[in-house]
Amino acid sequence: MDDLSRRSLLMATGVGATSLLPGLPDAASAQAVSAGPGPSLKPTHRIRFAVIGLDHPHILSMTATVLRGGGELVSVYAVDPKQIRDFRASFGDVKLARSEAEILEDTSIQLVAGAPIPDQRTPLGLRVMRHGKDFLSDKPGIVTLDQLAEVRRTIAQTGRKFAIMYSERLEVPAAVKAGELVKAGAIGRVVQTINIAPHQINAPARPAWFFDRARYGGILTDIGSHQADQFLYYTGSKSAQVLSSQVANVSHKAHPEFQDFGDMTVTGDGGAGYIRVDWFTPDGLGTWGDGRLFILGTDGYIELRKFADPAGRKGGNHLFIVDKKQALYMDCNNVALPFGPQFVADIVNRTEIAQDQVQALLAAELVLTAQQNAKPAPFAT
């Protein structure tokens, strides 16, 4: 890529003026740029939606995303007083529905968002779709292959959406920018993705279901669903399979059904992928996890430090891109998040701009298959 083409690419992807990046070796020849917000993402459509199930706090960001996209929050149904108080602390004196049925039978509601205990997300989504509404689930939206088969059947029967909030791509500005760069050809054809997704456990604060594999689905099903989504998206794979997987409970023997380590290797018609997930983030990091993504292309590579930079840069959304001519560091904190407005528009227009339904369920299928076939890691015995 010549200098003119490079400047055109950076302008097209919203990158501002450059300056030398302090603190890196001269040999790196790295420059620092600020990624611009990108196209205007004002809501173009309006919908009425409700929330059922507040068991995971992800529901707060999910609700905020739909509101940002043009949703009108009609009501919420839950039974735990603390969960209701926390939800109302974020969204005001939202109407508390008397029952789930009150929401499902309200024909003015077009979407239900939910984050109940993971094994209850598919059953809720099935009821929602059978009542003529679309469903937005926290991840993992599906915890068994039998549930996945029923979701696919119900989508075909009802024509409704079973969307899954893979927030580590959809709601992380650096991940959005990485997608823009890949689509613009900044690193050529993608060959492989590597996802490293450590999490902080904070065990005393976790509910009992968090440690019950039948309820949360296992570590690959749970955390790995984010990473499988990214593998498919960045490689552009339409079909894929699991080559190997392993899981372990290394340090939480008091909870024998819990898994604190897992990894899997996948391949697709668009590239290869490796995924590692764990619950070993140390307190010294200062945040819940140092999520990293590596995207290898034929003409360069991209690395994301999504949530932290232990080397000293503040905050998250750090993107590094290296091509044949130079190395760049991009601060992606100002990148706009398209999912909310796109998803609301999809509900109205019956399109799939925000999330490809087949791809979302293929990501679930990959981690469910990896989880089912995972071998016990020998180092944990």
**Residue 227 contacts residue 371 (beta carbons within 8 Å):** no
What pLDDT, in 10s, does the model give residues 311-343?
878 999 999 999 999 999 999 999 999 999 999
- What predicted TM-score, i.e. pTM, was given to this entire model? 0.91
What pLDDT, in 10s, does the model give residues 229-264?
999 999 999 999 999 999 999 999 999 999 999 999
What is the 8-class DSSP label of residue 70? T
**Residue 216 contacts residue 222 (beta carbons within 8 Å):** yes
- What's the confidence (pLDDT) of residue 16? 43
Of 120 and 3, the structure prediction assigns the larger pLDDT to: 120
- What's the confidence (pLDDT) of residue 312? 78
Contacts of 187 (CB under 8 A, 6+ apart): 181, 295, 296, 297, 298, 299, 300, 301, 302, 321, 323
Q: Has domain 47-166 been given CATH number 3.30.565.10? A: no
Please, what is the angle between helix 339-349 and helix 58-69, to 10°? 70
**Residue 114 contacts residue 137 (beta carbons within 8 Å):** yes
Examine the pLDDT at 27 and tell me if it is beyond 60: no
Distance CA 199, CA 217 (A): 16
Q: Is 236 left (phi over 0), alpha (psi -120 to 50) or beta?
A: left
- What's the confidence (pLDDT) of residue 2? 42
CA 278 to chain centre: 16
Name the residue ranges covered by the structural domains of the chain.
3-38+169-339+370-375, 47-166
- What's the confidence (pLDDT) of residue 15? 46
Residue with tokens 């984050």: 115
CATH of domain 3-38+169-339+370-375: 3.30.360.10
Work out the average pLDDT over 120-145: 98
